[in-house]
Amino acid sequence: MLQAPPAVPGMSESEIDTPALLIDLDALEANLDTMAAILAPTGVRLRAHAKTHKSPVIAHLQAARGAIGQCVQKVAEAEVLAWGGVRDILVSNEVVGASKLARLAALARIATISVCVDADEQVAALEAAAAGARVTLTVLVEIDAGGARCGVAPGTAAVALARRVVASPHLRFGGIQAYHGSAQHLRTVAERRAAIAHASASAEQTVALLREAGIACPVVAGGGTGTFACEMASGIYNEIQAGSYIFMDADYGRNLDESGAPVSMFRQSLFVLATVMSAARPGVAVLDAGHKALAVDSGLPLVWQHPEWQYIDASDEHGKLAFDPNTQGPALGSKLRLVPGHCDPTVDRYDWYVGVRSGRVECLWPVAARGALT
Amino acid sequence: MLQAPPAVPGMSESEIDTPALLIDLDALEANLDTMAAILAPTGVRLRAHAKTHKSPVIAHLQAARGAIGQCVQKVAEAEVLAWGGVRDILVSNEVVGASKLARLAALARIATISVCVDADEQVAALEAAAAGARVTLTVLVEIDAGGARCGVAPGTAAVALARRVVASPHLRFGGIQAYHGSAQHLRTVAERRAAIAHASASAEQTVALLREAGIACPVVAGGGTGTFACEMASGIYNEIQAGSYIFMDADYGRNLDESGAPVSMFRQSLFVLATVMSAARPGVAVLDAGHKALAVDSGLPLVWQHPEWQYIDASDEHGKLAFDPNTQGPALGSKLRLVPGHCDPTVDRYDWYVGVRSGRVECLWPVAARGALT
């Protein structure tokens, strides 16, 4: 069952039912503008990652500022975007299984669809699916850019896979996917630069070998919110796949800039609004937002603008705030903004975004690809 | 958007699209029967916790085996159960805010509704909501049974709150809620017994003081899957609120019995079915089930019947399995059952249960109260 929206436009923020997923629209728009301004003079394209927002509405806001398309991780996410009018979608991930591939190929009738591979069998399965649907799919060969998760080894293994793609009549070789996920969360600029220097060298070597093999490589794709400046400066990457920059989260807020201060290029625009539902003991307030309302895999949430109130423990439906019992804590019934530890899976807990500006609800947007797991 | 079901009845398990939430129906039914058999001779009632299953279908299976009703944590969960025909529902939690209380009171027209309080203001707010809806709500006073989360102190504070309930014309004093959440996961029988001995003593003292005050206490409620045998044996508790026993999970599987062996009273009936989507390097297989498909707050999932394959890392859409590179790992495209680390929030990731028996899909049941956060 779809959940009822927790607000209606025009309400004040304090009237929103909780837990609710809030977007500060001014901050969101500032982030969209900042990324567009950074990329515009470079010629590097933005293919924004929809695994963060799961929303055709936000995809169109990104397109209006120059994004050339969207990335997703799942076929079900690609479906929601394509059905919502997004015309160029890369599944920046491997897709395995005949039923998923048939769904992906079917989408190529209404959008330009690209997908990644890291195995021979997958090229054959994609060719069969595309032939069956009488469409052409664009295929990127994923190389392991240092994350040691998916992707073939850079260099000759990638070239061999690209040859198979080129030899497949219903597939078009689109380039290489060289995303380094774990590098996004390295804390210092030096660490992130070193990781992406390795990724760039891997990509460069692969592109050179492809050229020797007579295979053009139109796209070298990768880069997230933590490292995109490194990929952008590499001279190798030409598509950036940042997603979280639109919202930010407590974990990205722990990344440091050149000066050793927390990065401040993007503003926090995503919040979970929670209510104090119990205040029965001194120094403790219990919120109505726990594991089911917030992803804690990258750390507990922070209380926005109240560093003196610490979210110390989550259970399924409760969050425990601790504060100095000699001070005034948040009152029973009061509502607080929390900064999620990790934006993407937190968004996945909700059916609705509540867009707020100047203390008022301005809009409701569905989290259209919530739970799009397949 | 509701997600499409990942299967249809009659399919073989290997045809189910992934990630999918599976119930082994034989194991589920065995667990339901086991709990009924344990409680029947004792006179202690089961009010099963729907925060685990979120499903009127399963609530009715429990009722058919003698459960007197259901617990929930959220008004939105109570709505889904009441709309699905469940006739006796306790919100085993505090409910704060006029709109939630109005929804709760409205439900009392179609079901018997009880709710917990731990603050004077809440008694007043509940009385106003019940009066406004011209209904009577049953109210349990929650005491802190040792979890240091919600609940007033046992004893005189609880009696004072009960007096306020008794004095409210649209409220009925139902008894006390004395649930000790964190005790459920204490590993040894001795630790769990000690925690519930404390909770029972707190409840007993409170009941005695209520009696002195002339207030009958029909219900003493608490107990989860980890400790219910202790509450059952206490002579104080008369309603047990276990939920996870129907499914179990990897974390409950680490609780030990008298002999020091893992508890084996209930069978694992809940699984996440996942597919190997990449196998590009020796000793590693990447699954299509990460944070969005599995709750990891109580530990990573286990691979069912394959202890030699270890799920070592989750990212949003990927799970990394490690195995001895000199052995045969799971093949690209193969499907594996995972035992979730924590059942309740894992269930909340899905729109559908796929019920399987003897390797075939027997039924699809909606996770009707998925995302019921408010």
Beta-carbon separation of A97 and B333 below 8 A: yes
Using the Cα atoms of residue A230, residue A235, residue A241 and residue A246 in order, give the sign of their dihedral: positive
pLDDT for residue B1: 82
What pLDDT is attached to residue A38? 97
Q: With contacts defined as CB-CB under 8 Å, which chain B residues touch A318?
A: 149-150
In this prediction the pTM is: 0.97
* Distance (Å) of CA A111 to CA A79, A81, B79: 10, 10, 40
- Residues A17, A39 within the same domain: no
Same domain as A301, residue A220: no
Answer whether A331 touches B (CB < 8 Å).
Answer: no
Helix (H, G, I), strand (E, B) or coil at A302: strand
Q: Is B133 on the interface with A (CB under 8 A)?
A: no
CA dihedral for A20, A21, A24, A29, sign (positive or negative) = negative
Strands A88-94 and B45-49: unpaired
Q: Which residue of B has its CA nearest to A282?
A: B148
Residues B230 and B277 placed together within one structural domain of the fold: no
Residue A201: other Cβ atoms inside 10 A: 15
Domain-located, residue B129: yes
Are residues B272 and B140 part of one domain? no
* Residues A95, A81 within the same domain: yes
- Cβ-defined contact of B278 to A150 (cutoff 8 Å): yes
Q: What's the mean pLDDT in B250-262?
A: 96
Q: Is A279 on the interface with B (CB under 8 A)?
A: yes
Q: Which residue has the tokens 């009924």?
A: B36
The beta-carbon neighbor of A351 closest among B121, B151, B371 is: B371
Q: Is A362 on the interface with B (CB under 8 A)?
A: no
Residue B41 C-alpha, separation from nearest chain A C-alpha, in angstroms = 32
Angle formed at CA B157 by CA B153 and CA B162, multiple of 5 degrees: 115
What is the chain A residue with the closest CA to B312?
A149
Is A208 in the same domain as A87? Answer: yes
Which DSSP state fits A152? B
Tens-digit pLDDT profile for residues B162-171: 999 999 999 9
Q: Is residue A5 part of a domain?
A: no
Nearest CA in chain B to A6: B374
Segment A14-26 mean pLDDT: 98
What is the enclosing helix (H) or strand (E) of A156? helix A156-166
B residues 46..65 contacting A (CB < 8 A): 51
Between chains, do B280 and A151 touch, taking CB under 8 Å as contact?
yes
Query: Are B227 and B284 part of one and the same domain?
Result: no
**Segment A29-48 mean pLDDT:** 97
Under a CB-based contact definition with an 8 Å cutoff, are residues A226 and A192 in contact? yes
Give residue-wise pLDDT tens across range B272-306: 999 999 999 999 999 999 999 999 999 999 999 99
pLDDT score of A170: 98
Instruction: Assess B287–A contact: CB distance below 8 Å, yes or no.
Output: no
Q: For testing the chain B interface, which of A53, A74, A96, A141 should be mutated: the one with the most B CBs within 10 Å?
A: A96
Residue B62 DSSP symbol: H
**A362: pLDDT confidence band, cut at 50, 70 and 90?**
very high
Look at residue A297 and tell me if it is in a domain. yes
- Give A94's contacts in chain B (Cβ within 8 Å): 277-278, 286
Nearest to B119 among A51, A150, A280 (CB): A280
B118 touches chain A (CB under 8 A): yes
Is residue B274 less than 8 Å (CB to CB) from chain A? Answer: no
Residues of A in contact with B158 (CB under 8 A): none
Residues B39 and B160 in one domain: yes
Peptide bond into A19 cis (omega under 30): yes
Same domain, A233 and A101: yes
Q: Taking CB atoms and an 8 Å limit, are B96 and A275 in contact across chains?
A: yes
Last residue of a domain, one of A222, A247, A272: A247
- Judge whether residue B269 has pLDDT over 90: yes
Q: Where are the alpha helices (DSSP H) in chain B?
A: 25-39, 50-53, 56-64, 75-83, 98-107, 120-133, 156-166, 189-212, 228-233, 343-347
Q: Using the beta-carbon criterion (under 8 Å), do A3 and B296 form an inter-chain contact?
A: no
C-alpha pair distances (Å), A156 with each of A203, A207, A219: 12, 10, 18
Residues 212..241 of B with a Cβ closer than 8 Å to A: which? Answer: none
| Final residue of a structural domain among B181, B212, B246 | B246
Instruction: State whether B96 and A276 contact (CB < 8 Å).
Output: yes
How does pLDDT run across B43-55, given as a tens digit for each residue?
A: 999 999 999 999 9
B158 touches chain A (CB under 8 A): no
| Overall average pLDDT of the A89-102 stretch | 98
Do A291 and B295 make contact, defined as CB atoms within 8 angstroms? yes
Contact of A341 with chain B, judged by CB distance below 8 Å, is answered with no
B chain contacts of residue A342, beta-carbon cutoff 8 Å: 291
Label residue B196 by pLDDT band (50, 70, 90): very high
Contacts of A290 (CB under 8 A, 6+ apart): A314, A315, A316, A317, A318, A319
Q: Which helix (H) or strand (E) holds B353?
A: strand B352-357
Chain B contact for A14 (CB, 8 A cutoff):
no
B349 touches chain A (CB under 8 A): yes
Cβ neighbours of A64 (radius 10 Å): 10
Q: Which of A247, A279, A311 is where one domain is finished? A: A247
Can you read off the two tokens belonging to residue A41? 């003079």
Residue range A113-137: mean pLDDT, rounded: 98
* Inside any domain, residue B258: no
Could you tell me the two tokens for B213? 């005050």
The tally of domains found in chain A comes to: 2
Q: Which of residues 303-322 of B touch A (CB under 8 A)?
A: 314-318, 320
- Asked if the bond preceding A5 is cis, omega within 30° of 0, the reply is no
How far is A246 from A31, CA to CA, in rounded Å? 5
CB contact under 8 A, B318 and A150: yes
Q: Do B316 and A345 touch (CB under 8 A)?
A: yes
Read off the pLDDT of residues A331-348 as tens digits, 9 standing for 90 and up: 999 999 999 999 999 999
Query: Residue A167's domain spans which residues?
Result: 26-247
Q: How far apart are CA B374 and CA A14, in angstroms?
A: 15
**Cα–Cα distance list, A219 to A13, A114, A136, A201, A215 (Å):** 44, 11, 17, 15, 12
Model confidence at B98: pLDDT above 90: yes
Which pLDDT belongs to residue A364?
98
B31 Cα to chain A: minimum distance (Å): 23
Q: What gap in Å lies between CA B192 and CA B328, rounded to an integer?
A: 41
Residue A70 belongs to some domain of the structure:
yes
Q: Has residue B148 got a pLDDT over 90? A: no
Q: How many residues does chain A have?
A: 374
- Mean pLDDT confidence for A300-322: 97
- Same domain flag for B289 and B220: no
Give the N- to C-terminal CA distance of chain B in Å, as an integer.
18
User: What value does the mean pLDDT take over residues B207-235?
Assistant: 97
ipTM of predicted complex: 0.96
Q: What is the CATH number of the domain that holds A333?
A: 2.40.37.20
What is the C-alpha to C-alpha distance for residues B32 and B61, in angstroms, rounded to an integer?
8
If asked whether residues B360 and B241 sit together in one domain, one would say: no
Q: What is the mean pLDDT of residues B213-221?
A: 98
The mean of the pLDDT values for chain B is: 97
Q: Which whole number is the average pLDDT over A310-333?
A: 97
- Element spanning A198, H or E: helix A189-212
Residue A372 maps to a domain? no
What secondary structure letter does DSSP report for B331?
P
A150 in contact with B at a CB cutoff of 8 Å? yes
pLDDT band at A1 (very low <50, low <70, confident <90, very high): confident
Do B352 and B215 sit in the same domain of this protein? no
Has residue B218 got a pLDDT over 90?
yes
pLDDT recorded at residue A44: 98
Choose the closest CB to B17 out of A3, A372, A374: A374
Average pLDDT over residues A282-296: 97
**What local confidence, expressed as pLDDT, does residue B137 receive?**
98
* Pairs of residues, one from chain A and one from chain B, whose beta carbons lie less than 8 Å apart: 189
CATH number of the domain within which B65 lies: 3.20.20.10
What tens digit of pLDDT does each residue of A236-250 get? Answer: 999 999 999 999 999
Closest to A224 measured CA to CA, from A147, A302, A111, A140: A147
Beta bridge pairs of residue A90: A71, A114
Cα-Cα-Cα-Cα dihedral sign, residues B301, B304, B307, B308: negative
Residue A148: which pLDDT band, with cuts at 50, 70 and 90?
A: confident
Give the C-alpha separation, A167 to A127, whole Å.
10
Residue A166 lies in a domain: yes
B288 touches chain A (CB under 8 A): yes
Residues in chain A within 8 Å Cβ distance of B289 = 373
In a domain, A201, yes or no: yes
